[in-house]
Every structure is written in C-alpha cells, then in structure tokens.
Structure 1
Amino acid sequence: MSQLLPVVGPDSPETRSIITIQKVKLKDQHLTCEFTEQRSEEAPPRAFALTCTEQVHPDLTHALSRLVPHLCLLAEQLTETPDYWPDESEELPALFEPFTVTGFSMGRSQGGVTLIGQRELAAGRVLNLTTPYQSFDDEQASYPYTGLLETTLATALVEVEAALRGKCTEYRQLDLFESTVAVPYIPLPSLA
C-alpha cells in the first residue's frame, strides 16, 4: 500500500511530476481541482480529483481575480471602456466589485478555457456565469484579448499547481485553554 502524501507529486525540482490541470473550483477559500499527474513524460497520466483542506494562498485568489475582466467581456456583462483594463499591480476597479471568478475548465490539451464565475445582484442574490468556450488557437476568434486571457490564465495555472503541491495560507490556531499572556493582579480599594 502506498503512503498518502500531503502534497501532490515529489517535492524536489529534479523529480517533480507533470501536472495537467483540467478543472478548478474555489469555494469558501478551498480549492477543488481535477487534474492528471505523470511521474515522467513516458509514464501514463493518472487522473485525480482533490479538495484541499487548507485555505488557499492569497496569490491564488489574486490570480483568479485577474480573470474577472475577461469573464465580464466573454459573458457580455460589461462593455469595454478606455480605462477598463487595470494594471497588474493595482486592484480591480469598483466596476468589477460584484463579479468573482470561482473557477475554470480547460479544453483538450489546454487549448482553451471556459471561465466560471458569479455576479452579486443588487438584491443580494447571486447570478452564476459561465462563459462560452474560448479557444486560444482560433485564428478567426471574435474575442480580441485571447492572448491576454491565455497569459493571465497561465499565471492562475501556476498558482493552482503550487496549491496542489502545498502552497496555502499559513495560520496558527491558538491553544484553547493555555493562556500565554500574563495578567498582573491589581488589588482594588475596598469600598467599606
């Protein structure tokens, strides 16, 4: 019987396994992913579906947030304006606030993507959004930002793979019954 590892694949760079991500879903800061893993290029791929118990690292949520402008255009939720595309370093403008990318599904051989997300409506209800499949190789593509989408998605794929290999939010839970702060005793004057 093989030992279950806390992370996917060998951790050393020289023996790192090959991961091909197929579907990604982020819910309540926990990653669910369908992927294949190969020990080497000659080895047959093994299919996995994994839900991480640790919360994802903020880098992954940031990478997914960078897909929001593409979600909005591909799902025809917003129209492009001159100041539509934010710089990589800045946060998303307020016009993207109601939108989130909750996952994506890769096409065969990672040749395209379908983005999955949500829009929070004014009444607090949620509208689920799924974009049409966008091929990266389509020469007659109607989406003019296919190259930018592919580059942004590549960053998200790197973060998903890092999460599968163990990159997550570091947090420490404090002991429930052990006090680590000394509280000095200060006598109160008697009221009598």
Structure 2
Amino acid sequence: MSQLLPIVGPAAELGSEATPSIITIQKARVKDQQLSCEFTEQRTSHAPPRAFALTCTEQVHADLTHALSRLVPHLCLLTEQLAETPDFWPDDSEELPVLFDSFTITGFSMGRHHGGVTLVGQRELTGGRVLNLTTPYQSFDDEQVSYSYTDLLEVTLAVALAEVEAALRGKCIAYRQLDLFKQPGSANLLLVPSPPQA
C-alpha cells in the first residue's frame, strides 16, 4: 500500500511535515471496483474549500467494499425490501447473512453539513435483471424518528466515509504488473559461461 497523501487536490510545495487537509465527502460511488467521488478539500480549517470530482483508476481496497457492505441492511429497511429478522445485523467481522446476497450498495450522497444521507444500491432479481434502489433522504437529526436505526446508520456511515477519504489519499489494492520484457540486470537473467581464453 502506498503512503497516504496529506493533500489530494493540486498542492503547492509542501514540507514533509504537512498536516492532512480537511476533506468533506459529498457523494461516493463504486462501479467496477473503482471509486468516483465528489468532495471538497481545505488545506486548513480557515482556508476556503475547493470542490473536486474524482474517479480513481485503481481498484478500491477491500476495507472500503466491506464498509459499504455494512450499509446493505439499512438499504433494505429504508427501501422496504426486507423485513427485519433476528440475524439481520451482523457483527463487523462477519459476512452478511445470506438474505442480503442479492443486494449491493453502489454509493451514497450526503446531506448538507453531513446532516443525513441517501443510500444508493442494487438488487439482483431472479432473471438476472437489476433493480436500482435509492433510499429516501434519512436525516440524522430527525425529531420524529421515522427510522429506528438512525444512530447505527450514522456510525456505520462514518466508517464508510473514513474509508472513502483513505481511498482519496491513496489507499487502494496494491498490485504490481509484471514487466512484459525482462529488464537488463534483473535477477532472472540466464548466465552462459564463456569459453576460457588462451
């Protein structure tokens, strides 16, 4: 894994002791294992925010896909796709129960000042077709408590936001493409002894 970047957007020359910028995620989407994101970045808390839209070319790290998968039960309840069962909420380390196999989270959109969220996902139907799902906006400060698990949603989303920020700073799957041709001086060179000279 590469070192995480202190600044994501275009940066002036920074010393080695640069403090990380402040990133505020507005939208995140994962498609074909690549992250697309809209966010603002501030070099300090007093600097004006700069808006960015970025699509990463690297594949997302497994930690990000795991964090997004934890939002699937919320997607199912908020879109009224499934009813809650005793094994509905898995532990963080567990895989999702089988009843969630046909559901995936593809992204989310944050409300103003991160006061709520809209989840976006999919359900694969029996014929192989895909049903796109979008939850109603769920406020975290909802006084009428229309969703019983708002606190759990907020905590789970905070983990996903942290993983999206880490992805923006360089956390991705570490893979190395092999060279097409062997390079001179590589360890795999075949050495042929030369005949002794007289």
Indicate if the aligned counterparts of 1:67 and 1:153 stay in contact, CA closer than 8 A. Answer: yes
Structure 1 residues 153 and 12: alpha-carbon distance in aligned structure 2, compared to 1, 3 A threshold = farther
Runs of 5+ unmatched residues, structure 2: 190-198
Q: 1:7 deviation in Å?
A: 6.4
Query: Counterpart of 1:31 in 2: which secondary structure?
Result: strand
Structure 1 residues 33 and 12: alpha-carbon distance in aligned structure 2, compared to 1, 3 A threshold = farther
**% identity of equivalent residues:** 77
Q: 1:176 deviation in Å?
A: 2.5
- Identify the match of residue 91 of structure 1 among 95, 105, 109: 95
Cα deviations across residues 114-144 of structure 1 (Å, max 9, x unaligned)? 0000000000000000000000001212110
Cα root mean square deviation, aligned:
2.3
| Counterpart mapping for 1:103-114 below 5 A | 103-114=107-118
Distance in 2, Cα, partners of 1:130 & 1:12: 42
Q: Counterpart in 1 of 2:133?
A: 129
Query: Counterpart of 2:60 in 1: which secondary structure?
Result: coil
Query: Counterpart of 2:52 in 1: which secondary structure?
Result: strand
| Superposition misfits of 4+ residues, deviation over 6 angstroms | 10-13, 179-182
- Identify the match of residue 115 of structure 1 among 115, 119, 133: 119
Q: 1:83 deviation in Å?
A: 1.6
Q: Counterpart in 1 of 2:162?
A: 158
Indicate if the aligned counterparts of 1:11 and 1:165 stay in contact, CA closer than 8 A. Answer: no
Cα deviations across residues 49-82 of structure 1 (Å, max 9, x unaligned)? 0000111100000000000000000011000012
Mapped pair 1:48 → 2:52: yes
Indicate if the aligned counterparts of 2:27 and 2:107 stay in contact, CA closer than 8 A. Answer: yes
Indicate if the aligned counterparts of 1:103 and 1:115 stay in contact, CA closer than 8 A. Answer: yes
Runs of 5+ unmatched residues, structure 1: 183-192
Indicate if the aligned counterparts of 2:122 and 2:133 stay in contact, CA closer than 8 A. Answer: yes
Distance in 2, Cα, partners of 1:140 & 1:85: 23
Structure 1 residues 170 and 6: alpha-carbon distance in aligned structure 2, compared to 1, 3 A threshold = farther
Q: 1:89 deviation in Å?
A: 1.2
Give the paired residue count: 179
Indicate if the aligned counterparts of 1:7 and 1:164 stay in contact, CA closer than 8 A. Answer: no
| TM-score normalised by L of structure 1 | 0.87
- Identify the match of residue 71 of structure 2 among 49, 67, 71: 67
Q: Counterpart in 2 of 1:185?
A: none
